[in-house]
Amino acid sequence: MPICRLKRAAMFWAFLLGAWLACPGRTEASRSALLPDYMRLQYAGQAGLFSIGPGYSWWHRRVESGLSYGYVPAFIGDRNIQILSQRNSLSLARFHVQGMVLEPAMVGMATHVSVGDKYQVLLPKSQQDYYWPDGLFFWFFSGAKVGYMFRKPTPIAGMAAQIEVGTINQYFKAYTTNQSVTLDDILSLAISTQFYL
């Protein structure tokens, strides 16, 4: 059964990747355009203690979408937990200040999948009306980013640092159903660095 679930998870991600590469604008692009636009390293944010992964940008890097692999070591999570994520963000405002790019208002959402035989993502039909799959959660966030694009040609086109505050759907449910649960109880912080390629 665990192998079946792993297979299904692999097929799910392979499908996402295939659909991604086949989308208009990608098929017409040059080979280099298939390479990711950035690599992202994140701390916390329900994506793992640390997570890393590639992503693509549109609209002058205002819209970004990426995948990541995250890891929670056993000394924090009782067991080694691996998390695959698909993340999307939109920058609502942008300012250029002394060569820096400031984006003070970003919003986004990520889908996190905990992999392994301990977690369920696809529930049997008989359980779908009763359980929420414990390996699947959504991270909703808002944040701010500051970036710098290098003027001289370098292996890395630019860098950005981002801070965001968010919560997952399960915690949000607790917040909406209890007056005694405050935003402070459910929000957590994530810090990340992006390297533009």
Partner 1 sequence: MEATQSNPELNVANLERISEKADGPRNHFKIAVLADTHLWYDELKLAVARINSDTTLDFVVVAGDITKFGYADEYDRFADIFSGITAPSLVGIGNHDVQADGKTLYLRMFGPTDFSFTYRGVKFIFFDDNARGIKCCIPDFTWLEKELADAGDSLRIFTVSHAPPLSDQLDSAQSLRMAGLFAKYRVMLSIHGHTHSYDYGQPFGDGVPYLVADDIGDRNYVAITLSDTALSVERVFF
Binding to partner 1 by residue 170, rule CB under 8 A? yes
Backbone angles phi and psi of 71, in degrees to 5: -140, 135
Residues 35-64 within binding reach of partner 1 (CB under 8 A): none
Shortest CB 41 distance to partner 1, Å: 24
Binding to partner 1 by residue 185, rule CB under 8 A? yes
DSSP state of 115: E
Shortest CB 95 distance to partner 1, Å: 36
∠ CA(91), CA(94), CA(97), 5° rounding?
145
Give the number of residues in contact with partner 1, rule: CB under 8 A: 23
Binding to partner 1 by residue 119, rule CB under 8 A? yes
Pick between residue 98 and residue 179 the one whose CB is nearest to partner 1: 179
CA-based nearest residue to 108, from 25, 50, 166: 166
Per the rule left: phi > 0, alpha: psi between -120 and 50, beta: everything else, 95 is beta
CA-based nearest residue to 107, from 144, 162, 70, 59: 144
Binding to partner 1 by residue 6, rule CB under 8 A? no
CA-based nearest residue to 162, from 75, 91, 57: 91
Residues 71-100 within binding reach of partner 1 (CB under 8 A): 76-79
Shortest CB 68 distance to partner 1, Å: 20
Name which position in 135, 139, 143, 190 contacts partner 1 (CB under 8 A): 135
Per the DSSP assignment, residues forming a β-bridge with 87 are: 66, 110
Positions in the binding site for partner 1 (CB under 8 A):
76-79, 114, 118-119, 127, 130-132, 134-135, 170-171, 173-174, 177-181, 185
